[in-house]
Amino acid sequence: MKTEYYVGNVKIKPNLVLAPMAGVTDSAFRKLIKRCGGVGLIVTEFISVEGLTRNNLKSHKLMYFEPEEKPISIQFFGHNSDRMAAAAEVAEAAGADIVDINCGCPAKQVVNSGGGSSLLKDLPKMEKILKETRRVIKIPLTLKYRIGWDENSINAVEVGKMAEACGIEQVAIHGRTRMQGYSGFADWNVIAQVKQAVKIPVVGSGDVCSAEQALQRLRETDVDGVMIGRGAMANPWIFRQIDEIMQGITPHQPTIEEKRIFLVDYLAVMLQEMPTEKSALGKVKQLCGHFTRGLPGGATFRNQIFHSNTVSELTDKINEYFATVEPELSYV
């Protein structure tokens, strides 16, 4: 089982990657996750190359990162090879360690404009984007994609080989088709087939929610790394726990107080960074939803915070909830 790998000359140690999640993995969230430990690579939310190359302020803000987040990969989506290449140059100049191209997003507005997972149906176009972007930057270029458009057109191996031939230095594969959205389960057999078919690093993504699952995936599929998204929202310490098990150390079990502090810190940062109090509260509510999944009384808590409309109300609910959770039941 691997515990580290290289993307070009960028060392990823441990081989645990925070998945890009639009609307979630902004700089504030990424820093809090990184401080929990064990993250080898961080990826930004996806950024529109159309927006970035037309100097859209929001797209430029999404590209913002701080040194403590490094190594960091900046992810782009788009359908135009010139704009993708231009965006990659901007990311390189901004100090990104890696540029990543999204060919997995299932959202209609992305797909209908020819980007994201729709490129899985147009490999010549994807190839053009990969080649032209590869040509203009020196830092590693990576690809994240789904296993296919639908169950009748699974082409993950073909895409992996094509990407390798274009000079792509890592592929990350979410083991679902576009048509699946987030339903069903990620198919790690297909991810393992890609690993067998290419020499570049392969990172698996989908449904890793515990340290045990991550280790099992690493062992069984021989992938170079695992990427964790929703599992990290539920348990920001998951990377540290996996890393510690890999090192033979008893994994850290966050205390209730650590969990409470994580949410309260997140709220404080969101209040600073989000344009309005309402949007900050929205972000915290979203995280709370995942964070308390499976915890006793979690459903009631989620319902209560959903109806909290002020910062003090939300803070009170968080404090009240964590004061009532039984310590031994709070472990994730």
Binding site for ligand FMN (CB under 6 A): 19-24, 45-46, 75, 102, 104-105, 144, 174, 205-208, 228-231
Query: Has 105 been annotated as catalytic?
Result: yes
Residue 73 or 260: the one with the smaller Cβ distance to ligand FMN is 73
Among candidate residues 55, 80, 94, the one with its CA nearest the CA of residue 133 = 80
Name which of 148 and 322 has its Cβ closer to ligand FMN: 148
- Judged by CB, which is closer to ligand FMN: 210, or 315? 210
Q: Which residue is nearest to ligand FMN (CB)?
A: 229
- Distance between CA 290 and CA 266 in Å, rounded? 14
**Spatial separation of the C-alpha atoms in residues 237 and 259, rounded to whole Å:** 10
Question: In the bound complex, what is the minimum distance in angstroms from residue 328's beta carbon to ligand FMN?
Answer: 26
Please state the closest distance from residue 323 (CB atom) to ligand FMN, in A: 29
- Cα–Cα distance, 48 to 26 (Å, whole number): 15
The alpha carbons of the chain give a radius of gyration, in whole angstroms, of 20
**What does the chain come to in residues?**
332
Q: Hey, which bits of the chain come out as E strands?
A: 5-7, 10-12, 16-18, 41-43, 47-48, 72-77, 98-103, 141-148, 171-177, 202-205, 225-228
Q: Which residue has the tokens 């909830």?
A: 321
Choosing from 36, 105, 209, 288, the catalytic residue is 105
Nearest approach in angstroms of CB 116 to ligand FMN is 8
Smallest distance from the beta carbon of 214 to ligand FMN, in angstroms?
10
Catalytic residue positions, numbered: 105
